[in-house]
Structure 1
C-alpha cells in the first residue's frame, strides 16, 4: 500500500528523499521510541515529547488526565506527530554540504480520545509493548485509580509522509577534485546497555528474560 499525499503531507524540498510506501511509515514508527506531539494551545504552538505505540493504522499516545495539552488534543484539534531516527552525521568537504542520515515520519490528523474501556486497555498495552516489550502480563496490572488517571489518544495514519536520507556526502565536483578535507559518514547507533537492578529490589531477584533478551539485542 502507498501513502496518499495531501497538501500537508507532500514534501516541498528534497522530494527525492520521500518514501511513498506505507510500510516505510510503519518501519520508522516501529523503530522509534519517542514521538513529538505538536498542537496549538491558547494560540501558541506546543510540542510534547512522549511515548507512543502503533496498532495497524492507529497511533496511540498517552498522558495524565490533568495535562492541559492532552485535554486540548482530545477536543479533536489538528495535531502533528513526528518521529525522527538519526543514523549518521555526514561530513562533507564543504560545511555547507554537511548533513545527516536519518529516517523521519510526520503524521497529520485529529486526536481521538479513547473512552471505550477495552480499547483504552488495548491502547495502553500497545504503548507498553512498544516501549518495554514483555512487561504486560509480567508487571502488576493497572488498578482502577491508575486507569482513571491516564488519558489515551488515538491518531490515525491516513495522512503522513516519510523522508529518508542515506549514503555518502554530496560534495560539489570542484570540492571533490580540489579539497584535502576528509569526507564521509559517522554512524550513530542506539544500543541497550546491561540492565541495572533497582537499589530497593529484593536480593536475588533475577532480570526477567524479556529484559535481558532486549539488552542483548535479540
Structure 2
C-alpha cells in the first residue's frame, strides 16, 4: 500500500548514505549560502540539503521523529479529527498539504540561515530538521496533550509543554551559536509548521486552546 511517509524516509536514507561516499554529490547538494548568493542557479540547495545528513545518528534521529509524527499529521490532514471545523481534505488533498508542510519546512527554515551566512565562505548546512520540526509541531497543534518521550527522561512530556521548551531552547542556541547545529532551522521550521496548520485548518487553533484548558482544569 502506498505510504508517502515511508517513501520519504527511504529516499532520505538512500540519498544520505550514497552522499557519504560521493563527496561531489554532497558538496553540490549541501546548503552553501555563499555560493548561492553568487550563483542564482543554485537555489535548489534549499531543498536538496534536506535529503543529506552528517552521519547515521543525525539521520536516524530525524527520520524516527518524522515517522513518529508523520502518520498523525497526514491522517488529520486527510481524514480530519471529527472535531467541529476539522474535516480532512481527502487522501490526495491531505497528501499535497503534508508535502507542503514537510518540504516547505525544509526550504523556509533555511531562509534565515541563508541571509545570516551568505558572506561566510566556509559555512554549510544539511539535514531535514526544518521539515521534521514542521511536522512535529503540526502534530503538537493537532494533539497537544499527547506525551513526547525523550532519551534519559523516564516520563512523557505533554506536547504543548515540550513545544514551548523546544522553541525557547532553539531560539537561545540559535542566538548563542555555541555548536555546529543549525538551531535556526529547528526554530523557524517549527514556526512554519504552526502557521501553515493554522492557515490550512483554522479550527485547529480553537481545538488546541480547548484541550489546553481541559488539561489545566484537570490538574487544578
> Same fold per TM (> 0.5)?
no
Higher strand content, 1 or 2: 1
> What TM-score does the superposition give when structure 1 sets the normalisation length?
0.25
Query: Highest CA radius of gyration, 1 or 2?
Result: 1
Q: Which has the higher helix share?
A: 2
TM-score (norm 2): 0.25
Structure of higher RCO (CA pairs closer than 8 Å, 6+ residues apart): 1
